[in-house]
Amino acid sequence: MSAKKPLETSNPQELLALCSNLYDRNASAIQIKVNNYLKQKCGAQLVFLVQLLKEREEAVVQVIGDKVLEKEMRFPVTNNCLHAVMQRRTSLSADACDLDPELHASLRRVINPLPEQFLVVPVWHPSEDSICLVACLVEYENSEEFCSHVVTECFRYCIGTVLNTLAYEGEMRLKLQCQNLLIIARKLVSHLGEFTDLCREIMLEAKKLTLAERCSIFLLDQESQELVAKVFDGIPAAEEVRIAKDKGIAGHVMSTGQVLNIRNAYEHPLFYKGVDEATGFKTRCILSFPIRDETGIIGVAQLCNKIGGLYFDVYDEEAAVAFSIYCGISIMHSLVYKKIQDAQARSKLANEMMIYHMQVHPEDVSRVLNCERAHDLMPEIDLFYFSPRKIEESECVCYCVEMFDDLGLVQQWQLKRDTLTRFLLFVKKGYRDAPYHNWYHAFSVFHFSYLVIKNLRLVERGFISSLEALAFMVSCLCHDLDHRGTTNSFQMQSGTELASLYSSEGSVMERHHLAQALCILNTDGCNIFDGLTGEQYGKCLDLIRDLILATDLAHHIRLVQDQEKMASEGFDMNSTQHRQLLLFLLMTCADLSDQTKDWKVSRTTADLVYQEFFSQGDLEKAMGNAPLEMMDREKARIPDLQIQFLSHIVCPVFKILAQLFPEADCLLQSTVKNRHCWEQASAFFARKWESGHSSLDILRDLELECFADGAPH
């Protein structure tokens, strides 16, 4: 509309006074002045302006009358009186019921009761053929035509000031957002070294940026194609949460790559109420947005409940989109940094092992292959009560070859004797001189695998395959490679290279043992599986991985109920789960097999174990930590600890084995007898403690041999 058209209803001086008074750099203050002018000239009870955002088809209300809203109101311009004004392009009188519900509620707080009728007047953009504002007049005294003229003439001269001030505030908001994002980026960079901490920091900053109550981050697991939340905000000590990448709100955002702003969570079809019901948390609104790196979408962030508002607005959406870029960059760099750290840790460990252990020389292999001593298996070596610790250390490798041969594995799997010998020598050198977790322990565990395969006829009866038997025996040999004589928890608490490398996966030491086993298999001249097909080779390595990881007692405790159920209901030869549970059970039994020997072996084993425990306890004390009772040489009550260990771990394991294989009942009886011996020896220990003897000294007292029959001393 041309500015040269003469004024029909407005007083030029009053209009000029209004324009000269619009000097504020605050859109709300300017709107109040315009509202009051229109209110006075039209005789209205209340006036408010609605900004129309054409590109978003959205309406914005910041001020009602002279009341500045705590939070600007945004709602879509669809199916309401504002939409009708934009379509008709002229003023119209509307009913209160035509208002957006939220605007209707806000007006009721200002005017109650709310009038039924009000006038909606469009305001045209000065340089575009579009409506940029709408003036709403409530309870006006003059005619609709007069009021429309007043509004039109008012904005003919002040629309530029209003629009420029709104644009200025938008630019200031954008500037502040950029400054905040730079601060956030600096904070995120400082947490790249620890991925979990980075995720927590991302969630914290996302909540601060959008004023959200809670935030969760789901990252895409490329292998399982699931969205995984390892850090789930709001649920204390929450375990890993997994959802299908195309399910739920996060899955929808992952699939579409679009921001999803849900104003009423319980009315949205993708919202899952189960989490709220389980935690007691009430989700009102959700803002979910994708996280990207240069390859595409790598995850989804989900914000819940706007603090101080009914829902997340368009500015929150804009902030979230900008923030997601920094999230993706930080996560990508954190993962790359983690890979670099892992590579450095592996290199350091490999170098450490190379320095610590001597290489196997060709003459060492020849000495075993050409050994002139008779190494025919001893008459009792295949009996359950036989202790392999009777065999001299220098002869162990020869006996390993003989046991492989006796079971027919050398011939069936074309194991080259020189390769097998070299592999065994490398494995032997891969064990440190720890009191218990040394080569003799590995040899004892290996010997037990030979015993159960032979005496229970596991392969012949179809309980395990020949390939599984081979993997089982190799796993027994390698299951404690490069053991440091300390527990997983000690590695974690001490922050060792092993912990930094494997802590995120769990079973720190077991994963290291597996890595060392694979390292030896990949050493020139040590691949005993080179006669296997590609499929057999892959399956064998998978079995070795699973079996070595199964030696973590925490792994066994998670499975023991399933193993008990399998034993009580009967073993199903065709069940993949049963066959796997059996292999894990056999591996645990082999690892604990020292407890199935006679009292002397059980006592000697305890001596070695507690030497390791007490050494770790001494280290923990030196670090200023309080060790567990079993690790503390001053507090440990060995008989009580052994009775507890046998009762809760060892006896139940061999009871399951005896249920599956009655011929293995002798193993269970041996463990029960050893437990009885410890019970009878308890009083002897108590008397010695009172005399000032240490636990290890008492354990080595020859008088303890008198308890071999379980009788009181």
Listing DSSP states for 67-104 in one string gives EEEEEEEEEE-SSSHHHHHHHHTS-EEEEGGGS-HHHH
**61 backbone φψ class: left, alpha, beta (φ>0; ψ -120 to 50):** beta
Q: Is 437 a catalytic site residue?
A: yes
The radius of gyration of the chain from alpha carbons, rounded to an integer in Å, stands at 39
Q: What is the amino acid identity at position 401?
A: V
Establish whether 439 is an annotated binding residue. Answer: yes
Establish whether 440 is an annotated binding residue. Answer: yes
User: Can you tell me the distance from the alpha carbon of 541 to that of 235, in angstroms, rounded to the nearest whole number?
Assistant: 38
Establish whether 479 is an annotated binding residue. Answer: yes
Calculate the alpha carbon distances from 238 to 229, 233, 567, 616 in Å.
9, 8, 33, 31
Distance of CA 290 to the CA centre of its chain: 18
User: Can you tell me the distance from the alpha carbon of 473 to that of 471, in angstroms, rounded to the nearest whole number?
Assistant: 6
Q: What is the amino acid identity at position 421?
A: T
Helix (H, G, I), strand (E, B), or coil: what is residue 147? helix
Calculate the alpha carbon distances from 123 to 85, 98, 334, 452 in Å.
10, 19, 52, 91
Q: Burial, 49: exposed, middle or buried (Cβ in 10 Å; 0-12, 13-18, 19+)?
A: buried
| 524 DSSP 8-state letter | T
Establish whether 591 is an annotated binding residue. Answer: yes
Q: Are 427 and 521 in contact (CB under 8 A)?
A: no
Helix (H, G, I), strand (E, B), or coil: what is residue 557? helix
Task: Please state at what angle helix 534-549 crosses helix 508-521, rounded to 10 degrees.
Answer: 150
Q: Are 437 and 480 in contact (CB under 8 A)?
A: yes
HSE-CB at 23 with a 13 A cutoff on CA atoms is 4
Given 149, 437, 513, 555, the catalytic residue = 437
User: Can you tell me the distance from the alpha carbon of 318 to that of 322, in angstroms, rounded to the nearest whole number?
Assistant: 6
Listing DSSP states for 284-338 in one string gives --EEEEEEEETTEEEEEEEEEEETTSSS--HHHHHHHHHHHHHHHHHHHHHHHHH
User: Can you tell me the distance from the alpha carbon of 611 to that of 336, in angstroms, rounded to the nearest whole number?
Assistant: 41
Q: Closest Cα partner for 334 from 224, 217, 241, 223?
A: 217
| Known binding-site residue numbers for Zn(2+) | 441, 479-480, 591
| Known binding-site residue numbers for AMP | 437-441, 480, 591, 642
Q: Which residues are catalytic?
A: 437
| Known binding-site residue numbers | 437-441, 479-480, 591, 642
